[in-house]
Amino acid sequence: MKRKYTYPLLVILFTVGYFAFEKYAHQKIDEPIVEAGAQEKEDTNTYFLPSSTTGQVIHHNYYSLSYSESHEQAEWVGYELKKSQLINNDFKRPYFEVDPAVKTASAHWRNYKNSGYDRGHLCPAGDREFSKQAYDETFLTSNITPQNHAFNAGVWNRLEQKVRYWAKKYDGVFIVTGGVLNNKNTSIGTENVTVPTSFYKIVYDRSGNNTRMIAFLMDHQESSEPLYRFVTSVDHVEELTGIDFFPKLEDVLEQKLEASSEYKEWSFR
C-alpha cells in the first residue's frame, strides 16, 4: 500500500519543484530585461511622455509605454515619428511575443486567438519600417490592443496614414496613443484583456515656429466620417482617461495647447 502512494507523491513533488524552478529561472533571466526597460534610452524623447496612472513605464528602443496590468495592455504608447524614418521595407512579419520588460508580464497573444478581434498595434509597424529591430519591436504584446477589424483596417488606419503625412510635411511629430480603458465589461481571453470602448491619438508638432497639438477620439467602430469630425481637446481625453499627457511642458503653453480643439491649421488634404 505504501508503494501505491509513493510514486504519485513523487510525481507531484517533482512537478511542483519543476514549475517552481522554471518560475525562479525565468525571473532571474527577466530581471535584467525588466531593469533595462525601466531605463530611459538615449533616443527616447521622455520630455513629452505622459504621466503613468499604473507606475509601470517601459522604455523600448523606439517607443515607450505605460502598462496597465488590470487591463493587460498599455494605457498609452508614446514615440516620435521623424521624416527620415518614413521608409518602406518589406520585412517579414514576426510572431507576437510577450514583452519581457513588463515586470507583471504582458498578456499572451493567444488571448486574441478566435476572439473576433485584431491584434491592433498602438505604435504601428508601418511607423517603424526604417530598421528590422524597430519593426520587430512593435510586435511585443505590450504594444497591442483588441480592435474590431473594420475599425482597425478602416478609420483607424486612415488616421495612422494621416499622421505619417504630417510627420513628412512637418518634419517629425510626437505621438501618444491608446485605448480608453474605463470599462471592463468586454474582455477577451483567459487573462481578460479589456476591449477599449474608444481610442485616442494625440499629435504634437513643434517644427519651425509652430507649436501645435491635435487630439482625436474615436468610438471603437468603423466610420466613413472625415477625420476632422473626431477632433477633440486633449483636456477632454485627460478627463476620460485620468492621464496627464504633457506634464513637463511649461504650464501656460500646456494649458493653451491642451484646451484647443482647433484643426484648421492642420492639413487635412
Distance CA 191, CA 109 (A): 10
* Per-residue pLDDT at 34: 59
* Per-residue pLDDT at 33: 53
pLDDT band at 35, cuts 50/70/90?
low
Residue range 80-96, pLDDT digits in tens: 999 999 999 999 999 99
pLDDT band at 22, cuts 50/70/90?
very low
Predicted model pTM? 0.86
Quickly count: other Cβ atoms within 10 Å of residue 130's Cβ: 16
Residue range 149-180, pLDDT digits in tens: 999 999 999 999 999 999 999 988 999 999 99
Q: Give the start-to-end residue ranges of the domains of the chain.
A: 1-37, 40-259
Span 40-259: which CATH code?
Answer: 3.40.570.10
* Per-residue pLDDT at 26: 46
Does residue 109 contact residue 73 with C-beta atoms inside 8 Å? no
